[in-house]
Amino acid sequence: MTTNEAMEKEMRQLIAGNWKMNGLAEEAAAIVGPLRSGANGLACDLLVCPPFTQIAPIAKILTGSAVAVGGQDCHTDEKGAHTGDISAAMLRDAGASWVILGHSERRQDHHESDALVHAKTKAAVAAGLTPIVCVGETEAQRAAGAQNDVVGGQLAGSLPAGFAGVVAYEPIWAIGTGKTATEADVAAMHLFIRETLVKLLGQTGGGIRILYGGSVRPANAGSLLAVPHVGGALVGGASLKSEEFLGIARAARV
């Protein structure tokens, strides 16, 4: 067995929920309540990333449980004149230990570049958060056979030296559409990402979890999570229903 294969075998999968701009106080509490006990005895790590306003109350509900809490974005600066923005230190202060960065919706809606994601990732690490850096191609880029160039460029541009967080591969055309990439496509891309991470980061790159994201549901989770180099799932829609989210978590590789 190679060092990379051994590292991969040791890895617990991570199932991360991205709530996006969903979750008022009452519904947020109703989603995470069942996760407290539901997380016991799972073979994977569990993380919920609610909107900023719900981080502190949810962190309180989940205190002492096996479920971690994360943010969905942070600013590059620690504090200052940035109206409406939230710093990594503020996420940490509110009870988050993780943060999603460079999600395709932020890259599209807020024109976030690889350079900006790189700076945010550095800020997150400096504040003690574990970053989940998202990459992924559009449908047109895949149709043109450019997916490896796109994802390779995003990894090279977004990950700072010494990166030791998590990467999420999310083909944009599979997010919230009900379409999922085929197992063969996921296998090919995750292998490419693993090789790229090793090239960029050396041995550390062999131990980084690479999540798959894009319309993951309990019904398709088992087959997607069994694909080599898949280190877990980043889940949007299905993370808003605790039973669906736990159903995905129960499908994690043992």
Positions in the binding site for ligand PEP (CB under 6 A): 18, 170, 175-176, 213-216, 234-238
Among 75, 103, 190, 229, the one annotated catalytic = 103
Q: Which is nearer to ligand PEP, 170 or 201 (CB)?
A: 170
CB of 207 to ligand PEP, least distance (A): 23
Helix/strand/coil (H/E/C) assignment for every residue in the chain: CCHHHHHHHHCCCEEEEECCCCCCHHHHHHHHHHHHHHCCCCCCEEEEECCHHHHHHHHHHCCCCCEEEEECCCCCCCCCCCCCCCCHHHHHHHCCCEEEECCHHHHHHCCCCHHHHHHHHHHHHHCCCEEEEEECCCHHHHHCCCHHHHHHHHHHHHCCCCCCCEEEECCHHHCCCCCCCCHHHHHHHHHHHHHHHHHHHHHHHHHCCEEEECCCCHHHHHHHHCCCCCCEEEECHHHHCHHHHHHHHHCCCC
Question: What's the one-letter identity of residue 110?
Answer: H
Q: Which is nearer to ligand PEP, 89 or 112 (CB)?
A: 112
Cβ count within 10 A of residue 206: 18
Q: Which is nearer to ligand PEP, 55 or 216 (CB)?
A: 216
Ranked by CB distance to ligand PEP, the top (closest) residue is: 236
Q: Give catalytic status of residue 103 as yes or no.
A: yes
CB of 235 to ligand PEP, least distance (A): 5
CB of 236 to ligand PEP, least distance (A): 2
Q: Give catalytic status of residue 5 as yes or no.
A: no
Q: Which is nearer to ligand PEP, 207 or 214 (CB)?
A: 214
d(CA 14, CA 16): 6
Among 8, 105, 112, 170, the one annotated catalytic = 170
Q: Which is nearer to ligand PEP, 36 or 241 (CB)?
A: 241
Half-sphere exposure of 182 (CA within 13 A, CB side): 4
CB of 182 to ligand PEP, least distance (A): 16
CB of 241 to ligand PEP, least distance (A): 11
| Catalytic residue set | 103, 170
